[in-house]
Structure formats: C-alpha cells, structure tokens
A and B are shown apart, each in its own frame.
Chain A
Amino acid sequence: MTPGEFRLRVRFGKTGRLRWLSHLEVVHALERLVRRAGLPCAITQGFHPHLKIAFGPALPVGTGGENEYFDVWLTRYTGAEEVLRTLREHAPDDLAPTAAGYVPDKLPSLTAALTIAEYDVELTGREIDHTQVQAALERTVSAREFTMVHKGKQKVFDLARAVPKDVRASDRGETTGVELAVRMGPEGSLRPDALIRAALAGAGLTPSVLRTTRRELFTEDPEGEWSRPL
C-alpha cells in the first residue's frame, strides 16, 4: 500500500467500431483519457515517469468488451461519481467508462483476479441451425481436451476446467448466438471463437464469426462463486 494513494477501479466498454482497436491502442487511449480528464494521478518515479495505471486482460483486435476494467491510482480522494462524470466527458463514445469505485490497494491485480470471461459470439452462415451448433459444441466440450494453435504455438486445454459453464446456442433470426464462458489463467486463455470454429468444423459446419463480444469479466472466490470486480 502506498500511503496517500487511492486505487480507483473503472469499468468501461470497448464497443461499436472501436472493437477493432488492439489492446495496446486501448491502453494508450485510456491513458490519454485519464490525463485529459485532469485526474490527480499518481506518477511512477524512475527513469521513465508515467501514469500509475493497470489494465485487465487484453482483448484481441475485433473483439468488443461490454464490461472491461482498469485501475488508476489517484493522489487525492475525489468522489467516484465525480471522477466517472469527468472521465465520461473526455472519452470517445465507444470507449466510455460506465462505473467507477475505490477498491482496497491490497487487492491483487486485475489480470490476476479476473479469471472468468463470458463471451457472446454471433455466427452467420447458410444452413446454420442453433440446435446443430448447440449439439456440436456440447460434443466438443464433453471430449474434454482441446488443442489450439496460436501464433505457431500449440496449447492444450482441459475443457472441463477451461469452459466452466454450460454453452448455450440460440436462434437470433439472421444470426445464431453462442454464449460461452471461459476460464483465463497464466497457462493461457481459450479463444472462444477458435473453440466454436473447431467444434463446428468437426460437425461439417463452416459459419463465419460475425462478432465476438466479451460480456463480463468475473473474479472467482474459493467456493466457486463468480462476482464482478466492482
């Protein structure tokens, strides 16, 4: 705990066309947002002084997020509602903060604490029927083991652990929606669109993924209860 510093947690969305930003671009944009808002930010000491700010797990280019988080350390206590209002005034609409609150400084980092992510994946494609999608996904998940190749590296996931909730496919008229939760950790994170593609390819279906959105990020307590970090 750094005396005189207040750890503020901010919830924000990466929505609309800004889902096409990379994680680094989101990070830079939020740092600029915080400076623009004129918050009394703590500055790290050292060779390259910079804002004391920390981000949650990265989202890939093209994936939106409805409830994402960052922590910023302030040197002066300012009401969270007021900070939120100031942040919103200075934010691009598609990257706007939606909630803010102080959290104890001793909490683990967002990347360590946030271990569950809920996704919504929208599929399009002829002859794609949500019951087939549901069946294919259930088959894949029950097979327990899933191998994903990302950037030339092979990763093996134990799906009983990596997919901690029942997958649900539904008919949305023009599209098929898939709701899917994944567990994230230091061993790597399962990309939901990769799992869905593989599952459907196994069933002879080749949909296109129209949109992937991370709906929620949760912490998980020792009893297995999920909760929002703010």
Chain B
Amino acid sequence: MTRADLWPLIEPLLDRIERPARYLDREWGARHAPDAEYRVALLYPDTYEIGQSNQAIGILYDLLGSLPGVAAERTYLPWKDLIGLMREHGVPLFTLESCAPVASFDLLGITLPYELSCSNILEALDLAGLPLHAADRDESHPLVVGGGPCAFNPEPVAVFFDAILLGEGEEAAAEIVAAHRTARAAGASRAEVLRALARIPGVYVPSLYEPVTRADGSFGGMRAIEGAPAVVEKRVVADLSAFRAPVEPVVPFMDVVHDRFAVEVLRGCTRGCRFCQAGMIYRPVRERSADEVVRDVLAGLACTGHAEASLTSLSSADHSRLEEILRRLRNRLEGTGTSISLPSLRVDAFSVAMARLIADGRKSGLTFAPEAGTQRLRDVINKNVTENDLLETVRLAFEAGWRRVKLYFMIGLPTETDDDVRGIGELVAEVLRVAREATPPSQRGGLKVGVSVSTFVPKSHTPFQWEPQLPAAEIARRQGVLRDAVPRKGVDLHWHDADVSFLEGVTARGGRELARVIERAWRDGARFDAWTEEFDLGIWLRALEAEGVDPASIANRERPLDEPLPWDHLSTGVSRRYLERERERAVAGATTPDCSFSGCTGCDACDELGVGIVLAGGERR
C-alpha cells in the first residue's frame, strides 16, 4: 500500500466529531522520521486519552524511534463518531505522526492492556483494512505483534496475531524488528519470518502451536509444531537502570487519564497477594536508584513542562529509598508550582508520612486497599494488613488533615462467606468512627470515606488460577449483602458491574475457542467494552451461544489441578509448584512474607529467568 498522507481526508471530518484533539499529532515530544526505511505503528486499542498515558507504549516509542532507520508512530482507536465517518468516507486507520494508513507499515504493535479490549483490537485491524486472522495475511501486510499484561493468556486473541511478546520489551522489541528486517532482506516468506521470530526468547508465535484434543474431546494443552519451543518463557531485563526512563515523552494537548510526567521507580512486586496477576507476572522486584529517580523526575519535568510527576510502580511505597527520593525532590521543587504524586499507598504509618512529605497543602484524599473485610479472608489472599494497621493509618491521615479516604475491596474471593462481606461494612464503620475521632468537630461535616468494591476475577498464572469465579447472580446477591452492611452516612459506595466481571473472567481464562466468539461479538457490534456505558452483555451471550462455547465452564468451574490450562505453554518464570503451594496455604489461611526483604519464598522466578532482586540499597520501611 502507498504511504499516503490521509490528513486532507481527515480534517474535513473534524468539525463533525467530538474532541478533535485526539487526532492531531504535533504534540511536544512527538517524533517524525519520514525517511525511515522501517516503520512501526504502535496501537493502544482504545481512545487517545486512555492510551496516551500508557508507559509501555511510551518506552517502546522512545526505544524503537531511536533505532537507526526505524520510525515509531502512534495510533489509537478513534471514537465511534470518527470511526463512522471514516467508514463512510473510506478512510482507513491512520497513525498520528505521518497520518499514513496503518496497513502501510512494516510492523503493527498492539498492546493488550485489558481482557475486554479484544473487540477493539478487531475493530482496529478491520478499520486498518487488514485481514483479522494472521493466517489470512501475506507479505504485503504489516507484521502484527502483541504484548502487555494480557499476553500471559493470549489464547482468546492469539489467532489475530502473528506474534506475541511475553514480558518486557526493552530488549526484545529491537530484536523482533531486527529479525524481521534481516529475514525480509533475505527474501523470506511470511512463514519464514514467523519461524525466525519464534527463535527469539519470549516471542510466542500462535500459528506454531495447536490445541490438542483428547480422546474424550477435552482440551489437552497447546502443542508446539515446526520446532517452536514447547514453552515460551517471558522476557525480563536484569537491570532497569540499563534503560533510562523516557524523559522527553509526548506531551498531550488534551486531558488524558494520567496527565502528568511518570517515572517508573521500580518494576515487579513480591508482596505475594494471591489474587494479583501483576504480582506474579512482573517478578522479580527491580528498583531504580534514588539518584536515577531524582534525576529523571527533574529532567522530565523540565522537558515536558508538566506540573506534576508521578512515581509509578505496582507499589511505590515499597521503594527502599522512597523517603530519601521524596525529600530530595521536595527540596528541589519547592516554590516551582510543581508537585509529586504517588499512585498507590500501603496501609501503614510510613505511607501517611510519605504522603505528608509531598502533600504541599493539597490533601485531596488518600487511597488504601485492604481488599477484604475480615482478617481470615485477608490471610487467605495474603494481604498482609491487619484491622489495626488500617485504623491507625486512617487515624494518622485524618490527624494530619486529610478529610477523605478511599478504600478498595473485593468480593467473591475464594472461601468468602456472607460474614466476610458484612465484615467490609463493619470495617468501614470502624474507619468512619476513627476518622471522626481524629477530626475536629467543626470539620466532621466534610468527612468522606469512599468504598470501591470490585469483583474478584481469577487470573492465569496466579495461585487462584484454578478457582471458580462466582456466577454473576451470586455476585449480585452479595452486592446486596454489602449494600445493607455498609454505613450510608459519610460513605460513597461503588461496586463493579457483575456482568462486566463475568465477561472479563471468561476472556481471562478462556482458550483459543474464544476467538470465534470475539469475532462474532465484534461483527454484531461489540466495541469499547471497557466503557461501562458501551458494554452490552447480550451481544456476548448470543455470540457464546452461537459458537457453542459454554462460558460457565470457563469462568465458574473449579479446575482440577491435573487439567491442562490454555496458558501452560507460556511461562512467567514463577513455578507451578509455587502456585500450588500458595493455593494450599491460602486455604489453610497461612500467610507468606515478601521475599524482597525476608528471604526467598521459592517462587523460582529468579533462578528460572536468570535474574535477581535489585534493591536501591536502602531499607524497606
């Protein structure tokens, strides 16, 4: 396909749509390399304001764009209004930088951020004019490569991808580009290119694996063919410091979801919460040094002009030199009108002290995640937080002047009873009581406790990967128990839509059979399923039925330990032995400590991946 500039076709559509700033490019930090011989389009399968803050895309944009002869450009799924006009006027999906058709690129990288993005991936491929199935694409089409959190059970979308990278892209992305260029230069066919990619550690080529069906018709695992590795193991970089965080990222014009400069202060989390997929798939913990973080925050603020920098990670309060970092940044940024934020806090006094260090007069609210309402259930999930921890933390926060806290809980966790659900209400009542006590009487009117209750969805590669998800009707009943148990005055209670969680559960642990369902649901109009107001479970239930796939057997059934799982051929480095042991300990209510600070707990990831925990030399507080 020719590399046309589509802007003259797009601009006349802009006065008929919402928020044209999504489609303009020209932001500070956007990179243009019109003469590059190899072109990569990076797609986040949702709108600009959702995708632009994604740090992985930011890293790959920076890294691939810096390779000689390579251009990296961004593309997002347009909102429905523009999609409609583009289809009406025959305008294909375009990249922002050169406004060229995505189909004219050499490689299309798609991030897999969330299970329910699957319909948007198909919408994007179709809007780009690409065949949906990898098998239907030829040498004239870009290589379609996925990656991101949902790469660890990619089977529901696997047939739409030529290759999927498991784990971290800092080294592997450049290897994929190099392998593609080399193979193409040698005149390789698409099949040969794919075989070359399969030789790169961490790269999963779905077409080189096929499902095994047992004599009784049941699923017998995925089998490698044509010499592909039996198990693909995730990529991980030994030392984050070898890859500087991008300090000249794109500075968006429009308001995006995380509208601030972000520095990843550490990667991985070994607290070992048993429900948490991120805590398993990003192991081990690797911290950036305090000097690096301070340098990059200052450089990033200067380069972007952002008024706020966020220290991101799965649990930034765990950084062993956080206090030093925050004190140094506070000294450097005082009086500049810029501020530092922490996306997540632990339930402890240290976190409140850190929040005070950066509060700068603004005390909008603090967020904590006790996750469960009773100690018994918190032990089951290995959330090492006691009621006393929470109440003391809340007391400190309100004594320090905060008037709002937000608490995250889950319902539907393994072994949960109605008493555990009511326990959330009792805990919230205690939090309110402590918050009132710690607040001067004249200020108690503005006191607020936000309570956000999500539904537990068992995820692959976790100790709970064999657990049944509660059916939506039972979740709805427990949400009723929750509503009656949580105090009303001073509390904002929100819970997740049980239907959304159900479909999330089906796509989180389904196999390759789901591809047909996703394709049918998309053809029947499923789009933007992650947007609550766009989600329509009916479309999905009809697609499941039409394709003869029983969602309950995927999501709501307890799986025996000896049953092959659709992700058994993909490894995070964490051993199955560890997951099984953690599952047993969960049922027994036994907790497991954090290996970054109290000795190895035997998940095997370090040995398996040939890397180790990297701490910044401080002491965890």
For the complex, what is the distance from the CA of A16 to the CA of B99, rounded to whole Å? 15
For the complex, what is the distance from the CA of A47 to the CA of B23, rounded to whole Å? 35
- The verdict on A34 contacting B360 (CB below 8 Å), with A25-B254, A28-B253 known, is no
CB neighbours (8 Å) of A92 from chain B are 26-28
Determine whether the beta carbon of A25 is less than 8 Å from that of B337.
Answer: no
**How many A-B pairs with Cβ below 8 Å?**
80
Q: Say whether B303 faces chain A, with CB atoms less than 8 Å apart.
A: yes
A20, A41, A44: the one contacting B21 at CB < 8 Å is A20
Determine whether the beta carbon of B307 is less than 8 Å from that of A35.
Answer: yes
A138: min CB distance to chain B, Å: 27
Q: Say whether A32 faces chain B, with CB atoms less than 8 Å apart.
A: yes
Determine whether the beta carbon of A32 is less than 8 Å from that of B26.
Answer: no
Q: Say whether A18 faces chain B, with CB atoms less than 8 Å apart.
A: yes
Closest A residue to B10 by beta carbon equals: A17
Determine whether the beta carbon of B337 is less than 8 Å from that of A29.
Answer: no
B24, B27, B255, B335: the one contacting A43 at CB < 8 Å is B335
Of A48-56, A106-114, A142-150, A218-226, the one contacting chain B is: A48-56
Determine whether the beta carbon of A32 is less than 8 Å from that of B28.
Answer: yes
CB neighbours (8 Å) of B25 from chain A are 17
Q: Say whether B336 faces chain A, with CB atoms less than 8 Å apart.
A: yes
B548: min CB distance to chain A, Å: 47
For the complex, what is the distance from the CA of A48 to the CA of B26, rounded to whole Å? 29
Determine whether the beta carbon of A29 is less than 8 Å from that of B302.
Answer: no
CB neighbours (8 Å) of B20 from chain A are 20, 61-62
Query: Chain B 86-126, CB within 8 Å of chain A: the 1/0 string?
Result: 00000000000000000000000000000000000000000
Q: Say whether A31 faces chain B, with CB atoms less than 8 Å apart.
A: yes
A14: min CB distance to chain B, Å: 11
Determine whether the beta carbon of B28 is less than 8 Å from that of A20.
Answer: no
For the complex, what is the distance from the CA of A28 to the CA of B305, rounded to whole Å? 10
Determine whether the beta carbon of B21 is less than 8 Å from that of A36.
Answer: no
Query: Chain B 352-370, CB within 8 Å of chain A: the 1/0 string?
Result: 0000000011100000000
For the complex, what is the distance from the CA of A36 to the CA of B7, rounded to whole Å? 29
CB neighbours (8 Å) of B24 from chain A are 17-18, 20-21
Query: Chain B 308-325, CB within 8 Å of chain A: the 1/0 string?
Result: 000000000000000000
* Beta-carbon contacts under 8 Å, B525-567 to A: none
CB neighbours (8 Å) of A44 from chain B are 337
CB neighbours (8 Å) of B338 from chain A are 35
B28, B335, B361: the one contacting A36 at CB < 8 Å is B28
Closest A residue to B30 by beta carbon equals: A92
For the complex, what is the distance from the CA of A37 to the CA of B21, rounded to whole Å? 23
Q: Say whether B14 faces chain A, with CB atoms less than 8 Å apart.
A: yes
For the complex, what is the distance from the CA of A50 to the CA of B362, rounded to whole Å? 12
Q: Say whether B306 faces chain A, with CB atoms less than 8 Å apart.
A: yes
Determine whether the beta carbon of A50 is less than 8 Å from that of B307.
Answer: yes
Q: Say whether A38 faces chain B, with CB atoms less than 8 Å apart.
A: yes
B253, B307, B361, B362: the one contacting A29 at CB < 8 Å is B253
Q: Say whether B304 faces chain A, with CB atoms less than 8 Å apart.
A: yes
CB neighbours (8 Å) of A93 from chain B are 26
Determine whether the beta carbon of A32 is less than 8 Å from that of B306.
Answer: yes
A18, A24, A43, A61: the one contacting B336 at CB < 8 Å is A43
A48, A61, A91: the one contacting B362 at CB < 8 Å is A48
Q: Say whether B239 faces chain A, with CB atoms less than 8 Å apart.
A: no
CB neighbours (8 Å) of B28 from chain A are 29, 32-33, 36, 90-92
CB neighbours (8 Å) of B304 from chain A are 32, 36
Q: Say whether B474 faces chain A, with CB atoms less than 8 Å apart.
A: no
Q: Say whether B15 faces chain A, with CB atoms less than 8 Å apart.
A: yes
CB neighbours (8 Å) of B11 from chain A are 17
Determine whether the beta carbon of A49 is less than 8 Å from that of B337.
Answer: yes
Closest B residue to A35 by beta carbon equals: B305
Q: Say whether A22 faces chain B, with CB atoms less than 8 Å apart.
A: yes
Q: Say whether B150 faces chain A, with CB atoms less than 8 Å apart.
A: no
Query: Chain A 67-110, CB within 8 Å of chain B: the 1/0 string?
Result: 00000000000000000000000111110000000000000000
For the complex, what is the distance from the CA of A28 to the CA of B28, rounded to whole Å? 12
The bracket for how many chain B residues form the interface is 20 to 34
From A20, A34, A51, A93, name the one whose CB has the most chain B CB atoms within 10 angstroms. Answer: A20
Determine whether the beta carbon of A25 is less than 8 Å from that of B360.
Answer: no
Q: Say whether B251 faces chain A, with CB atoms less than 8 Å apart.
A: yes
B22: min CB distance to chain A, Å: 10
* Beta-carbon contacts under 8 Å, B329-383 to A: 335-338, 360-362
* Beta-carbon contacts under 8 Å, B242-257 to A: 251, 253-255
Closest A residue to B29 by beta carbon equals: A92
A180: min CB distance to chain B, Å: 19
CB neighbours (8 Å) of B301 from chain A are 35
B293: min CB distance to chain A, Å: 20
Determine whether the beta carbon of A47 is less than 8 Å from that of B361.
Answer: yes
CB neighbours (8 Å) of A91 from chain B are 28
A178: min CB distance to chain B, Å: 17
Query: Chain B 17-54, CB within 8 Å of chain A: the 1/0 string?
Result: 00011011111100000000000000000000000000
Query: Chain A 153-193, CB within 8 Å of chain B: the 1/0 string?
Result: 00000000000000000000000000000000000000000
Closest B residue to A212 by beta carbon equals: B15
Query: Chain B 190-209, CB within 8 Å of chain A: the 1/0 string?
Result: 00000000000000000000
A31: min CB distance to chain B, Å: 7
Closest B residue to A18 by beta carbon equals: B26
CB neighbours (8 Å) of A37 from chain B are 305
For the complex, what is the distance from the CA of A31 to the CA of B11, rounded to whole Å? 26
A223: min CB distance to chain B, Å: 39
For the complex, what is the distance from the CA of A181 to the CA of B135, rounded to whole Å? 61
Closest A residue to B338 by beta carbon equals: A35
B21, B305, B306: the one contacting A21 at CB < 8 Å is B21
For the complex, what is the distance from the CA of A44 to the CA of B338, rounded to whole Å? 12
Closest B residue to A93 by beta carbon equals: B26
Closest A residue to B335 by beta carbon equals: A43
For the complex, what is the distance from the CA of A51 to the CA of B305, rounded to whole Å? 11
For the complex, what is the distance from the CA of A29 to the CA of B304, rounded to whole Å? 10
A135: min CB distance to chain B, Å: 27
For the complex, what is the distance from the CA of A91 to the CA of B251, rounded to whole Å? 11
From B7, B254, B305, name the one whose CB has the most chain A CB atoms within 10 angstroms. Answer: B305
Closest A residue to B339 by beta carbon equals: A49
A165: min CB distance to chain B, Å: 26
For the complex, what is the distance from the CA of A34 to the CA of B338, rounded to whole Å? 13
For the complex, what is the distance from the CA of A227 to the CA of B11, rounded to whole Å? 34
For the complex, what is the distance from the CA of A50 to the CA of B251, rounded to whole Å? 18
Determine whether the beta carbon of B27 is less than 8 Å from that of A50.
Answer: no
Determine whether the beta carbon of A62 is less than 8 Å from that of B15.
Answer: yes
B358: min CB distance to chain A, Å: 13
Closest B residue to A51 by beta carbon equals: B337
CB neighbours (8 Å) of A49 from chain B are 337, 360-361
CB neighbours (8 Å) of A25 from chain B are 21, 253-255
For the complex, what is the distance from the CA of A61 to the CA of B11, rounded to whole Å? 13
For the complex, what is the distance from the CA of A31 to the CA of B361, rounded to whole Å? 21
Determine whether the beta carbon of B26 is less than 8 Å from that of A31.
Answer: no
* Beta-carbon contacts under 8 Å, B212-267 to A: 251, 253-255
CB neighbours (8 Å) of A22 from chain B are 21, 254
For the complex, what is the distance from the CA of A207 to the CA of B354, rounded to whole Å? 61
CB neighbours (8 Å) of A62 from chain B are 14-15, 20
Q: Name 18 A/B residue pairs within 8 A (Cβ), A-sorted.
A: A17-B7, A18-B24, A21-B253, A31-B307, A32-B306, A35-B307, A35-B337, A36-B28, A36-B302, A43-B335, A43-B337, A50-B307, A50-B337, A51-B337, A90-B305, A92-B27, A93-B26, A94-B26
Top 5 A-B pairs ranked by shortest CB distance? Answer: A32-B305, A36-B305, A35-B305, A20-B20, A43-B337
**A-B contacts besides A32-B304, A35-B337, A36-B305, 4 pairs, CB < 8 Å:** A20-B24, A34-B305, A35-B301, A62-B14
Interface residues, chain A, CB within 8 Å of chain B? 16-18, 20-22, 24-25, 28-29, 31-38, 41, 43-44, 47-51, 61-62, 90-94
